[in-house]
Structure 1
Amino acid sequence: MPTKLSTDLDAITDIPLQDASADIWDTKYRLKTKSGAAIDGSIDETYQRVAKALSSVEKGKAKQDSYYKEFLWALRQGVIPAGRIISNAGAHEHKPATSTINCTVSGSIVDSMDDILGKVHEAGLTLKAGCGIGYEFSTLRPKDAYVSGAGAYTSGPLSFMDIYDKMCFTVSSAGGRRGAQMATFDIGHPDVVEFIRAKREDGRLRQFNLSLLITAEFVVAVKEDKSWPLSFPIMQREREEDNLDLNDESLILWRDLPHTEGYVENEDGLVACKITKKMPARRLWDIIMSSTYDYAEPGFILIDKVNEMNNNWFCEDIRATNPCLAEGTLVHTPQGLRKVEAIKEGDIISTVDGSGAVETVEKHENVAVLKVSFSNKKSLLATEAHIFHTVNDNGVINRDKRLDELIVGDLVSTFDNGQLATTEIINIEDAGVATVYDLYEPKSDTWITETIVNRGCGEQPLPPYGSCLLGSINLTRFIENPFTDKASFNWADYRKTIRIFTRMLDNVVEINGLPLEKQRKEITSKRRHGMGYLGLGSTLTMLGMKYGDKESLGFTSEVTKILAIEGWKEALHLAKEKGTAPALEQTYKVTGSMLHKRPEMVTDGYKAGDEIAGKVLHAKYSRYMQLVAQEEPELVAQLAEQGARFTHHSSIAPTGTISLSLANNASNGIEPSFAHHYARNVIREGKKSKEKIDVFSFELLAYRALVNDKAMPYSEQADEQLPEYFITADAITPKQHVDIQAAAQVWIDSSISKTANVPTDFPYEDFKDVYMYAYEQGLKGCTTFRFNPEAFQGVLVKESDLESTTYQFTLEDGHVIELKGNEEIEYDGEMHSAANLFDALKEGYYGKF
């Protein structure tokens, strides 16, 4: 029997950092001078720097001192803010141009050369500040589509992705750390197969992770073995030049898309898309699954589920055209009638209150309009979202209504010669497309055209430059009596830590350091953060549970639920102390789309045109908060009345380097340990291939320190063997991976980063339905990984994989050398493992392969 050394909690916290962990802290998170001299003398000094920076946000020295102590306690207890916070908080003197935010979302890339290159510039600034960034590239027209303005055929979105890829490589090389980019792509885009296969070309798009935006409609098509149309939105000019018949169902597909400006729309707000090809949905599904089996990409994002469960469902999924009137419309001013296109910001226009200055002017081209005719012989060309003042039968202004809510016979308000009156709608008909304008006068929020009273564009949709600040709690730090029958989890300390950490992450908003004004505006408006945890797999092992078993699912659900509930309690407390998130303090106009998405609002008496506070839409009508209300109804009721400090609280992010460094290689995020003993490939400055170093899982370090100092995985010696609950990622079935994620997903209001790892010899037939199972379990997304030496050499590689893999190298004289992946070889004056040299040559670090 092995000798039991100790099981005190202090002994767990005192386990020294292994070399790999200390090395990553030193290279990535330790603050240094420009010349490389260390400023942080130890990891605890790194924590002190971060605690001081975050507590400095508090008002008054007494509060700053008090929260400094609390924040430092939490950091020592197992709180780990995301890497950008650890690296850059309190480091402004030495790194003034860096951000504390890990990830951002690009503004929508408009299908024009100016905007494509403009977004490259914005992305470069974002990456330079140390932030990752995500883009959707399926907004760009497909390869070989004709561009009438250029008189040529486009090279397609993948060619422009190459530009972003090279930019990211250049910026990250100059900055000393790898850039992080995510590219998403719509499953219905004509170039979707090319996107799926893009990274099979050596060295291409290596600065990107790829994911598909999967719709429920596509999943249904797969299940029912239907044909799947690939299409792209039609510009108005294209419709006219090609004389397209929009009623031809074999050619035209009407889709609900988030970006409609400039495209042909119908009265329901659907965009006309030209079908370029069709393919069996199951064939496309098989292409996706075979790609993930062989190349571990693309992942998939169930975009319908993401939007359905979004806490900001009422202001982030905006799909309606802005309220506008067509070019040529006559606007009443104190000096007489003027065409709307001649009105500029600051000009005085007539309103129902007399007159006022125009604060904002909006212009949109190629927008679908309707012709509205009135009984006073006037008419207007307006978008379906344009808002009129409606009048009841007694002549009293009833409420504002969008044009798509009005019918023939409705009365609307008029204003002529200083007198309010009414006129009746006698006809509404399609009028093609036009350049349209909207005016906003803040005092009355009205403007007069052809005597008709119109409502202005007071509510601006929030910009798409979203950011998320992240942090994780190391669950292993709350285990008492590990590896024994008395093993337990300290729930009281865990709850306390969550509350303190919530305040810490909220304070990061004030020191975000984002490079773009639109990014700063977005994060301060919604104040969203993503708190998660790391070390779940390690924790389950130390508690004697097997990852994926029923008992582990119960623990995962409970630990995630408490993370959520305690966070929202603190959201209420902080809102009372510091104020509600501005986006939740705003009022929003109820639309038909809102009522369609949330029919319970109709039951509650809401009608289109009513106004409602964002905090009510968030707390009462968000699908996620409705789940929280089942556990804490009084808490959610108070959040609906007071409003929350932030709109989102939780996200389980990938924590690879912070797990390995600051958590001494506790398992990554929600994952099990990759392996208990393996080699990690690290990039050394001045070297073109990676260097292999040994790494141990934290649970193995703890077991060797506390129970049996001889224990090793796969040992055939009885006195060195580990308990059977010491399992690793590839010993878990894809179904078990999905079940763990599903147990947590219920309580996470944003995303979960989860990878279903399978061994190299895992049967494809057993593998290929994992995404469908994930869909059926209600997940928002899923990613898989199977080691394939022909495709890539990952960062984490098990010795057994290297030993069983052979690499071939052809010399200049034609001789072929065969080496095992773990064999050492000298090339270009450097020593490499055969696997790492093969990868470096393939990726082009030594030129062409």
Structure 2
Amino acid sequence: MNFDLPLADISTDIWDTKYRYRDGDVIRDASLEDTWQRVARALAAVEAGQEGVWAARFHEVLANFRFLPGGRIQAGAGTRHRTTLFNCFVMGTIEDSLDGIFSALKEGALTMQAGGGVGYDFSTLRPRGARADASDTIASGPVSFMHIWDSMCATLISTGARRGAMMATLRCDHPDILEFVEAKRDPAVLRHFNLSVLVSDAFMVALDQDADWPLSFPPGRTVGNVRARALWERIMRANYDSAEPGVIFIDRVNRLNNLGYEETISATNPCGEIPLPPYGACDLGSINLTRFVRAPFTPDATLDLDGIAATASVAVRMLDNVYELAHFPVPRQREVARRSRRLGLGITGLGDALAMLGLRYGSDASLDAACAAMAAICHAAYRASAELARERGPFPAYRAESYLAGEFVRGLPEDIRTAIAAHGIRNSHLTAIAPAGTISLLANNISSGLEPIYAYRYQRNVRRPDGGLTEYAVEDYAWRLYRSLHGDAPLPPGFVSATEIPPDQHLQMQAALQAHVDNSISKTINVPADMAFSGFETIYRNAYALGLKGCTTYRPGAGRGQVMTADQQPPAKPCCELPGAD
């Protein structure tokens, strides 16, 4: 059987407009094969004396979309463009002064101009109405300054820069938390931001006890109180009505941080899968699970776990090499990023792969298969990084006793811990699951990240370099493959779309994979439009109970426009979509 399909029109367009190398008016990549060769050669250039050997191995995993490096790598590696090869940044701590605020704004602008998505914690800014002692003026609060960032991002987009994406976080005990929670009820404002509340373990205890919750600024200096349940309901109501803000369980993020012995995290990249310290950065890559399904749509369908692990080992070396090639828009980013050498290796195409295996997304068997794939990636990645440390040395912030005592590292297989103890490890973190939206479109429209199939056929809006939109009729990869093999035969039970899956099964999938993810996971919990608020609120409590690091939901009609419209639904007016980590 032939399991290859012609490249879809939308995939060709994505390659041509986003990843094809153009040097001025000269086209350098004549084909997709040229792009793979360019990226492979660029990442192998740091392999002194073995460039050809590693270029061939890198090309092998890139070919046929087996491994999909982050979009910035595919677009920038081996070119003369002055862009970053990193998708994910968290900017420096915002100093609570006008000079500090606008210095942070400038650094964010430089980073987004170079192609990076950024995260900011606005909790360091004094609340609205507080007096600034030095200037004897009244503070306007963090939300007011977020509007300046949003305008900056819009201005960069208007100049032709890659569409910017930002994450804004605020502590749940900040006095302006209610203003932050309500900030995106008007869908016309803060369009370039995702918002997330930093929810602490102490707050969840207060919520369970129906206790008062102190609001403080600076931290530890109480300036007011609110009922914990009242604040929680405001967060949930805003999310239910307008899909913002999400929730990050920040104490869990820090407790499970492999570098918790030397850094504190309070922000993430725009889609939430990479928690980072101030000035931190991480490069991403996703293994395409659809390329590792043997005998799809048959009783003998299996997942090639050995092939997945082998690809993960090569991918780690590729992503580590990015650090030697990358341009960092702000000098401090280079210092912090190289101190940890974080990687975010994950999966994409999970929904399609499960359909090809005949497993319904959310079933116990699907959870087992997904968990096995992510475990193979995680363990292969840690083994490869330990081997790289033997060859090249560990990351500079490595401290053997503290690192091996970390909660996540303690759960790794004993042979990995032994190798780390012997040689150290090259990268502090190795796994994450990104949305992988654009690169999944590139790879013949496979389902993105760990998400289920969105729909079998739908309309998709793609933004042009000039800011306009082109609408494509798009077909899911697994659906196309099944139709090419079996014509109009009824779809097997493994086919299920996102809206057919109960929210608790979305959560169970995220929880199953989190056990093998040392960074975090970008996941959208699809919620029916008519779901009662009480059930919706329970999703977030269950997310905390399941040990997740964060939670994001989407309820149709909850304030966000759509860039994808299933054929059976009327088209929706497109809006400015926050891009995924592509």
Assess same fold via TM > 0.5: yes
Instruction: Give the distance between the partners of 1:698 and 1:568, measured in 2 at CA.
Output: 31
**Map of 2:271 onto structure 1:** none
SS of equivalent residue, structure 1 residue 315: coil
Query: What does the per-residue CA deviation read over 1:283-340, in whole Å, with 9 as the maximum and x for residues that have no partner?
Result: 2212222222222211111000000000001111399xxxxxxxxxxxxxxxxxxxxx
Match in the other structure for 1:576: 390
Q: Deviations over 1:49-107 (max 9, x none)?
A: 000000001011xx100001000001015100000000000012xx1x21101111111
- Aligned counterpart for 2:177 among listed residues 192, 195, 201: 192
Q: Over residues 573-601 of structure 1, what are the superposed CA-to-partner deviations in whole Å (9 max), with x where a residue is unaligned? A: 111111111211xxxxxxxxxxxxxxxxx
Q: Distance in 1 between matches of 2:173 and 2:210?
A: 16
**Counterpart among 61, 78, 87 of residue 90 in structure 1:** 78
Distance 2:109 2:536 in 1: 38
Q: Do structure 1's residue 474 and structure 2's residue 459 form an aligned pair?
A: no
- CA shift, 1:464, in A, is 2.3
- Cα gap change, 1:679/1:318 in structure 2, threshold over 3 Å: closer, same or farther? closer
Q: 2-side partners of 1:469 and 1:686: how far apart?
A: 27
Partner SS state of residue 78, structure 2: coil
Cα distance in 2 for residues equivalent to 1:104 and 1:181: 9
CA contact (8 A) 1:463 1:518 kept: no
Amino acid at match of 2:322: V
Matched-pair contact (CA < 8 Å) for 1:731–1:758: no
Alignment of 1:161-200 (within 5 A): 161-200=146-185
Q: Determine the structure 1 residue equivalent to 2:461.
A: 681
Name which of 256, 262, 278 aligns with 1:315.
Answer: 262
Q: Is the 8 A contact 2:386 2:424 kept in 1?
A: yes
Q: Give 1:197's aligned amino acid.
A: E
Deviation at 1:686, TM superposition (A): 4.9
Structure 2 distance, partners of 1:563, 1:491, is: 9
Tell me how far apart the structure 2 counterparts of residues 26 and 763 of structure 1 sit (CA, whole Å): 44
In the alignment, the residues of structure 2 paired with residue 634 and residue 538 of structure 1 have an alpha-carbon distance, to the nearest angstrom, of 33
Q: 1:670 aligns with which of 450, 467, 470?
A: 450
Question: 1:98-118 deviations in whole A, cap 9, x for unaligned?
Answer: 110111111100111110000
Q: Secondary structure at the match of 2:188?
A: coil
Q: Is the 8 A contact 2:187 2:560 kept in 1?
A: no
Indicate conservation of the 8 Å contact 1:303/1:780, yes or no.
yes
Q: How does 1:328-727 map onto structure 2 within 5 Å?
A: 464-584=278-398, 614-618=399-403, 620-628=404-412, 632-661=413-442, 663-686=443-466, 690-708=469-487, 710=488, 719=489, 721-727=490-496
Contact 2:160–2:466 under 8 Å retained in 1: no
Task: Report the more deviating stretch, 752-761 or 133-142.
Answer: 752-761
Q: Does 1:794 align with 2:562?
A: yes
Which residue identity is paired with 1:745?
A: Q
Taking a change above 3 Å as real, the CA distance of residues 225 and 463 of structure 1, as seen in their structure-2 partners, is: closer
C-alpha distance in structure 2 between counterparts of 1:743 and 1:667, whole Å: 18
**2:270 counterpart residue number:** none
The match for 1:752 is 521
Q: TM-score, normalised by structure 1?
A: 0.65
Q: Give a deviation string over 1:338-373, Cα, whole Å, max 9, x none.
A: xxxxxxxxxxxxxxxxxxxxxxxxxxxxxxxxxxxx
Note the C-alpha offset of 1:168: 1.3
1:108 aligns with 2:79: no
Q: Does 1:835 align with 2:565?
A: no
CA distance in 1, matches of 2:10, 2:427: 36
3-state SS of paired residue (1:138): helix
Q: Does 1:764 align with 2:533?
A: yes
Helix, strand or coil at the partner of 2:346: strand
Higher strand share: 1
Counterpart residue type for residue 32 of structure 1? R
What CA deviation, in whole Å up to 9, does each residue of 1:208-227 have, x standing for no partner?
11111110111111122122
For residues 470-525 of structure 1, give each alpha carbon's deviation from its aligned partner in whole angstroms, at most 9, with x where no partner exists.
00000000111111101111222212111111111110110121121111111222
Deviation at 1:200, TM superposition (A): 2.0
CA-to-aligned-CA distance 1:191-221 (integer Å, 9 cap, x gap): 1121112122242111111111110111111
> Contact (CA 8 Å) 1:615, 1:641: kept in 2 or not?
no
Matches within 5 A, 1:79-228: 79-92=67-80, 95=81, 97-228=82-213
> What is the count of residue pairs matched by the alignment?
568
| C-alpha displacement of 1:685 | 4.9
Partner of 1:47: 36
* SS class of match (1:554): helix
Q: 1:145 to 1:85 in 2, by over 3 A?
A: same
Which residue does the alignment assign to 1:76?
63
User: Contact 1:128/1:175 (CA < 8 Å) preserved in 2?
Assistant: no
1:281 and 2:269 matched: no
Match of 1:692, SS state, is strand
2-structure distance, mates of 1:545, 1:40: 39
- Cα displacement (A) at 1:732: 1.1
CA distance in 1, matches of 2:295, 2:251: 44
Report the CA distance between 1:691 and its aligned residue. Answer: 3.8
Using structure 2 for the length normalisation, give the TM-score.
0.94
Contact 2:254-2:265 within 8 A present in 1 as well: no
Name the SS of the counterpart of 2:244 in structure 1.
Answer: coil
Give the aligned CA root-mean-square deviation in angstroms.
Answer: 2.0
The answer to whether the 8 Å contact 1:127/1:172 transfers is no
Measured in 1, the distance between the counterparts of 2:464 and 2:331 equals: 35
2:523 maps to 1:739: no
> Matches of 1:684 and 1:308 in 2, distance apart?
42
After TM superposition, what 4+ stretches of structure 1 lie above 4 angstroms from structure 2?
A: 685-688
The alignment partner of 2:169 has SS state of strand
Q: 1:56 aligns with which of 35, 45, 48?
A: 45
CA gap of 1:216–1:760, structure 2 versus 1, over 3 A, is: same
Contact 2:264–2:277 at 8 Å: present in 1 too? no
Given candidates 4, 7, 17, the residue that maps to 1:27 is: 17
- In 2, the alpha carbon distance for the partners of 1:219 and 1:185 equals 16
Do the aligned residues in 2 keep the contact of 1:312 with 1:647 (CA within 8 Å)? Answer: yes
Structure 2 CA distance for aligned equivalents of residues 151 and 635 of structure 1? 57
C-alpha distance in structure 1 between counterparts of 2:111 and 2:347, whole Å: 26
CA apart distance, 1:122: 0.8
Contact 1:615 1:644 in 2 (8 A): no
| Contact 1:465–1:519, Cα closer than 8 Å, also in 2 | yes
Bigger share in helix: 2
Matched-pair identity in %: 42
Following the alignment from structure 1 to structure 2, what is the Cα–Cα distance between the partners of residues 57 and 484?
43
**Paired residues of 2:160 and 2:465 also in contact (CA < 8 A):** no
The SS at the match of 2:518 is coil
Deviations 1:535-574 (A, max 9, x none): 1111111100011111011111111111111111111211
